Amino acid sequence: MTVSYILWVEIEGFYVDHHESEGRPLIVGRDKKVLDANLLAKKHGARIGMEVRQAKAVVSDCRIENWEPEPYLPRRNAWLDVCTEFTGVIEPIDQHIAALDLTAHPNPFDVTERLVRELVRQTRLNVRYAAAPSVWIAQVAAENEDLGRAIEAPERFLAPLPVKHLIPASIEARNRLAFLGYRTIGDVSKLPLATLQAQFGEEALVIQASVQGRHFLPAHALYPQDSLRDCLLFDGAVEVWESIDLGLKTLADRIGRRLSERGMQSSQLAMKVETEEGLLTKERRFTKPIGNPLTAHIAMRLLIQDEIASPVLGIHVTLTDLEKTRHRQDEIVGFTLRSKRTDPASAIGYVRTVFGDQSVRLGSQIEVPRRVRVLKEWQNATGWR
What domains, with CATH codes, occur in the chain?
A: 12-123 (3.40.1170.60), 228-324 (3.30.1490.100), 350-385 (no CATH)
Phi and psi torsions of 224, nearest 5°: -75, 160
pLDDT tens digits, 153-199: 999 999 999 999 999 999 999 999 999 999 999 999 999 999 999 99
Contact, 80 vs 34, CB < 8 A?
no
Helices marked H in the chain: 39-43, 52-58, 73-83, 108-123, 135-143, 149-152, 154-158, 171-179, 185-189, 193-200, 203-211, 241-262, 293-304, 332-338, 344-355, 370-382
Report pLDDT for 3.
84
d(CA 56, CA 77): 31
% residues pLDDT > 70 (the chain)? 88
* Cβ-Cβ contacts under 8 Å for 120 (sequence gap 6 or more): 126, 127
> When comparing pLDDT for 218 and 342, which is higher?
218
Write down how long the chain is: 385
Q: Which of 73, 6, 5 has its CA nearest to residue 225? A: 73
Report pLDDT for 364.
59
Report pLDDT for 370.
76
